[in-house]
């Protein structure tokens, strides 16, 4: 019987020849991740169990949300992770200075790879599907169970196949593809389904643009987002992933719950208006929207390629006097590469604030909180009410070129307007 890539991975990890949508399985987990917000709940559950032994080689604890520690509570949370890691021999605990945004660090370090089954106590764990693995966010209690048993209980999701064709215009990227897709699908149409990204347009996307797209699959309610691994995948993982991996492909006659086709030849840069990622529109059609802040970073669009795009727009220019620009490279490796190659110098000369690797501004945690009535454009994944600060603030989502151009103009603009 023909199957999708998601079904094949789940079958392989549950010891079955095949699995079908709607079937309940218990599957082996290859890797897990939790952060400074979600891990303490997991840790407290485990520590309440006498003589508990965890699968310590399969977990990364990444305190990225409120680090560098913003207050006493966040410091206590990181201390809890540190002590738990020492007690249980957790190999992959990352402290400030070695720590970055979890969903950028794990692919970068080769801790996740094609064919894996990955879970994490964070909704954007679906990011790793760009590598051709099944990855999904779970609750902290589910993660505790998986840490103790090495297994996870799942329902096999139906798959929606998304086919993209056409050459992308200048200043249009994976972020625009996923924002457009969310507009078409809505924010609940893919609940507990797999989004499979395919087509001639997708085959030409860099790994970083694929990671951006799979990162936001959950914004349609999806259980996971996934790409079929190819030469671009192999090139990315071959010197990173140190263990055996398998590159699964969907069968040509696999069954899908729905197939959606998009010709993206005429797609413009997209902007998601408050207060949903699916509330997307062409940057050319949104009218005049002045902003107080721009943020470039996060697990969605903080990759080195994204910083390069922003630097291309910002080079030789200044941030608008009524606007502040915050840039946070998401990992130490990306930060140092941007430093060595002069990217950070371009940002500094433009009068941007360059922050450390952190999730902080994205979730309204720290280092970029919005006041009442303020507007921000951000390369992040969510623009819910109060997402980056006050409930009366507004967040607009875009690709890094639009965010950089808007910081220069003091209002949301197409990059062509400032270049």
pLDDT tens per residue across span 293-336: 999 999 999 999 999 999 999 999 999 999 999 999 999 999 99
Q: Of the candidates 233, 262, 291, which is a domain's last residue?
A: 262
The model's pTM: 0.95
Same domain as 278, residue 244: no
Same domain as 377, residue 240: no
Same domain as 243, residue 279: no
Query: Coil, strand, or helix at residue 39?
Result: helix
- In a domain, residue 103? The reply is yes
Same domain as 316, residue 202: no
Same domain as 376, residue 238: no
User: Residue 52: pLDDT band by 50, 70, 90 thresholds?
Assistant: confident
Among 201, 181, 379, 376, CA closest to 280:
181
What is the C-alpha separation between 206 and 224, in angstroms, rounded?
Answer: 19
**Contact (CB, 8 A) for 112 and 31:** yes
Q: Of the candidates 197, 230, 262, which is a domain's last residue?
A: 262
- In a domain, residue 280? The reply is yes
CATH code at position 38: 3.30.499.10
Same domain as 278, residue 233: no
Domain span at 202: 5-248+255-262
pLDDT for 225-242, tens place per residue? 999 999 999 999 999 998
- pLDDT-above-90 percentage for the chain: 95
User: Residue 404: pLDDT band by 50, 70, 90 thresholds?
Assistant: very high
Same domain as 184, residue 90: yes
User: Residue 67: pLDDT band by 50, 70, 90 thresholds?
Assistant: confident
Same domain as 332, residue 412: yes
- In a domain, residue 267? The reply is no
Same domain as 162, residue 29: yes
Same domain as 224, residue 86: yes
- In a domain, residue 345? The reply is yes
Same domain as 227, residue 117: yes
Q: Please tell me the predicted confidence (pLDDT) of residue 50.
A: 86
Q: Residue 24 is encoded by which pair of tokens?
A: 């309940």
Average pLDDT across the chain, whole number: 96
What is the C-alpha separation between 279 and 277, in angstroms, rounded?
Answer: 5
For the chain, the domain total comes to 2
Burial pattern 31-68, b for ≥16 Cβ within 10 A else e, equals: bbbbbbbbbbebbebbeeeeeeebbeebbbbbbbbbbb
User: Residue 56: pLDDT band by 50, 70, 90 thresholds?
Assistant: confident
Which residue carries 């079908």 as its tokens?
A: 20
User: Residue 18: pLDDT band by 50, 70, 90 thresholds?
Assistant: very high
- In a domain, residue 126? The reply is yes
Same domain as 293, residue 202: no
- In a domain, residue 74? The reply is yes
- In a domain, residue 204? The reply is yes
- Alpha-helical runs (H) found in 56-173: 72-88, 102-109, 140-149
- In a domain, residue 243? The reply is yes
- Give yes or no for a cis peptide into 264 (omega within 30° of 0): no
51 torsion bin: left (phi>0), alpha (psi -120 to 50), beta (else): left
């Amino acid at each position: 019987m023909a199957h999708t890539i998601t079904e094949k991975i789940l079958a392989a990890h549950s010891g079955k020849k095949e699995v079908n949508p709607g079937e309940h399985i218990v599957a082996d987990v290859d890797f897990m991740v939790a952060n400074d917000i979600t891990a303490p709940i997991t840790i407290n559950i485990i520590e309440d169990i006498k003589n508990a032994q965890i699968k310590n080689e399969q977990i990364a604890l990444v305190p990225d949300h409120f680090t560098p520690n913003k207050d006493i509570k966040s410091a206590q949370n990181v201390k809890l992770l540190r002590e738990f890691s020492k007690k249980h021999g957790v190999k992959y605990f990352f402290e400030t200075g070695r720590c970055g945004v979890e969903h950028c660090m794990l692919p970068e370090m080769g801790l996740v790879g094609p064919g894996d089954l990955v879970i994490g106590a964070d909704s954007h764990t679906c990011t790793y599907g760009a590598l051709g693995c099944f990855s999904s966010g779970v609750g902290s209690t589910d993660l505790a169970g998986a840490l103790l048993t090495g297994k996870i209980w799942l329902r096999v999701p139906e798959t929606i196949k998304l086919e993209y064709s056409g050459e992308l215009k200048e200043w249009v990227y994976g972020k625009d593809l996923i924002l457009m897709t969310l507009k078409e699908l809505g924010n609940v149409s893919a609940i507990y389904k797999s989004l499979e990204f395919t087509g001639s347009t997708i085959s030409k996307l860099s790994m970083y643009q694929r990671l951006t797209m799979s990162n936001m699959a959950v914004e349609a309610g999806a259980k996971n987002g996934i790409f079929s691994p190819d030469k671009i995948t192999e090139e990315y993982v071959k010197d990173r992933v140190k263990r055996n991996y398998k590159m699964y492909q969907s069968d040509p006659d696999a069954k899908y719950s729905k197939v959606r086709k998009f010709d993206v030849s005429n797609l413009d840069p997209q902007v998601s208006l408050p207060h949903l990622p699916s509330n997307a529109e062409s940057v050319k059609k949104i009218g005049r929207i002045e902003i107080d802040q721009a943020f470039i970073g996060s697990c969605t669009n903080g990759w080195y390629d994204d910083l390069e795009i922003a630097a291309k727009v910002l080079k030789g220019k200044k941030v608008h006097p009524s606007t502040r620009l915050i840039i946070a490279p998401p990992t130490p490796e990306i930060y140092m590469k941007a430093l060595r190659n002069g990217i950070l110098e371009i940002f500094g000369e433009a009068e941007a604030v360059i922050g450390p690797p952190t999730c902080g501004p994205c979730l309204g945690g720290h280092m970029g909180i919005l006041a009442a009535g303020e507007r921000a454009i951000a390369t992040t994944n969510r623009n819910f009410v109060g997402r980056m600060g006050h409930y009366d603030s507004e967040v607009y989502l875009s690709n890094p070129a639009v965010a950089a151009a808007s910081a220069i103009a003091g209002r949301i603009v197409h990059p062509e307007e400032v270049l």
